[in-house]
Structure 1
């Protein structure tokens, strides 16, 4: 297993090499694509997912909507010998789990952060539930309850994709407990229904979720997350997702995914982002074309959706104290597609605070 110091030294050396070749961007690109995945011997199957996580998994037990729920999370301490820089919470996207933040957690812990990585209710190693009102407010409140249980009352909140929506709602709902905000290709930067995408009922989304296969997930992620490219190193994230779909709680998970699709589609964050008061960072891959509802949108509406090369600039221009970092050649998951360039940019911004 790679130690924190070795991991961080490698990251810095590669970032420095890439930076020496860059003349017109504040961050560096690199052909480096290896994202070492570590495993924890303390992890056990939970929530219908046997996929082994990189750090020990703990469980926050609580009651919500008259139901007892279990929220899985990883609590990664700052590396020995580092100066403590505070807590940072990493929120996963809809087609991801907390484990996808493996590389980022190593980098941040090596830089002195305590890293909290939950699986949202309905996802991965957390409780699956058929009767639950999924909303951004509810998931943000669940996350806040977790942090309070850990005596964390002020943290940097960072989210990717759907996690970016939850992070935004968290910051709007709990501004006094949000030190700063980092959004990575968040969903909801446009109102798909207002553009012309019709509403799809939950039952239809459920049938789509039940038909999920490794090939369908890979095809979607290749086209949307990785600009049409694919590396065998991405297979692990597809298999992680399929482990839940094909596991003992797969049918309930599929229904929860239909419920969260409805949540994402009906709760765009674009209208309230200008109300954010804290310092924030928006990171986008300009090749990202994610848009909930594109699959069932009319043919004349599809071309209008998911232009992150435009959405990023428009959003940053409307939100006070927001910094925009764009990766022109990357898609929806820049932290996976170019981990060195992404984390060099992230640490550079965090280091300014």
Structure 2
């Protein structure tokens, strides 16, 4: 049975006018590995070999600051995000007694960006499992946002007997864009598009797709984080990895398998979200109906047995960034219930 908890309250923090939000953002950072971008906690390294090459995954491993409850939450970032983007969620979890592990996936942020790698959700899930094994993490609650939610679903389908819970925050992959009619493009075409990425284009996309036309100064930090990786020497490799992973998420939808998830699941959905990979190249009528998260959230929760659905009708793709206090209160209220079901 699906439990739907609606949370519709008025945003109380000041928001910048949409017109002003299109002013250029300039990043002083210029490093494809984010060497000059500070994460909220110590960054560790998981060194391993995959597909015949040495790779390194950056991750944070943050202990509980209250009485430990013996549980670990693993936070998986989205495609246009990094482990650092979870900073507002880490502290409430550790204060509630959870250990929190936050990796950067291969191809992203502070982790290796290989020139040649067969990116796949199965591969990233296996990489994550190997990192957790080295860190001594067992039966984690895996929590993913955006692409990280898509990865978390794949992880649950592969390793459900090794998990105690699954949390999905506006995951992508809840619809099959290719089957819906979005044109397929080559990796080379995706790469050409990625080479044009900069702070201004990142902000414009996030404004329209993530935040429903409402911008706050605090969001600029995350724009600068992403833009810095594209700037200067090594930016072309960042663009190449982004093209490869765009192809991955487009070609590997999980929507057809969500009914097979057997892990206790909590879905947290900002219903103003309109994210859909490839929507910009879809016919206008098709683009209008893609990324309807109010519908996608309800539909997905109905297909995952025993799932709990928490909705934020006034929030977009990143409810944990837009309204951290509301999001964290809802998370902690429901997290124990979900993980206790196992």
Q: 1:247 to 1:149 in 2, by over 3 A?
A: farther
How many corresponding residue pairs? 319
Aligned to 1:31: 12
TM-score between both structures, scaled by the size of structure 2: 0.90
Contact 1:291 1:306 in 2 (8 A): yes
Aligned to 1:55: 41
What's the CA shift for 1:75? Answer: 0.4
Structure-1 separation of matches of 2:7 and 2:329: 9
Contact 2:32 2:238 in 1 (8 A): no
Aligned to 1:162: 147
Aligned to 1:71: 57
Partner of 1:138: helix, strand, or coil? Answer: helix
Contact 2:32 2:235 in 1 (8 A): no
Contact 1:91 1:163 in 2 (8 A): yes
What's the CA shift for 1:308? Answer: 0.5
Partner of 2:284: helix, strand, or coil? Answer: coil
Q: In the alignment, is residue 342 of structure 1 matched against residue 327 of structure 2?
A: yes
Partner of 2:155: helix, strand, or coil? Answer: helix
What's the CA shift for 1:106? Answer: 0.7
* Structure 1, gaps ≥5 residues long: 1-23, 35-44
Aligned to 2:287: 302
Structure-1 separation of matches of 2:254 and 2:76: 16
Structure-1 separation of matches of 2:34 and 2:52: 22
Q: 1:281 to 1:33 in 2, by over 3 A?
A: farther
Aligned to 1:5: none
Structure-2 separation of matches of 1:61 and 1:181: 26
Q: How does 1:203-214 map to 2 (within 5 A)?
A: 203-214=188-199
Structure-1 separation of matches of 2:277 and 2:56: 28
Q: How does 1:231-246 map to 2 (within 5 A)?
A: 231-246=216-231
Q: CA offsets, 1:274-319, max 9 Å, x none?
A: 1011110111111100000101112232112110011011111111
Q: 1:29 to 1:49 in 2, by over 3 A?
A: farther
What's the CA shift for 1:119? Answer: 0.3
Give the RMSD, CA atoms, in angstroms. Answer: 1.7
Structure-2 separation of matches of 1:345 and 1:27: 12
Partner of 1:248: helix, strand, or coil? Answer: coil
Partner of 2:164: helix, strand, or coil? Answer: strand
Counterpart selection for 1:329 from 276, 297, 314: 314
* Structure 2, gaps ≥5 residues long: 16-30
Structure-2 separation of matches of 1:76 and 1:225: 28
Structure number with greater CO (CA < 8 Å, separation at least 6) is: 2
What's the CA shift for 1:248? Answer: 3.4
Partner of 1:188: helix, strand, or coil? Answer: coil
Contact 2:153 2:254 in 1 (8 A): yes
Q: How does 1:1-353 map to 2 (within 5 A)?
A: 25=6, 31-32=12-13, 47-79=33-65, 81-352=66-337, 353=340
TM-score between both structures, scaled by the size of structure 1: 0.87
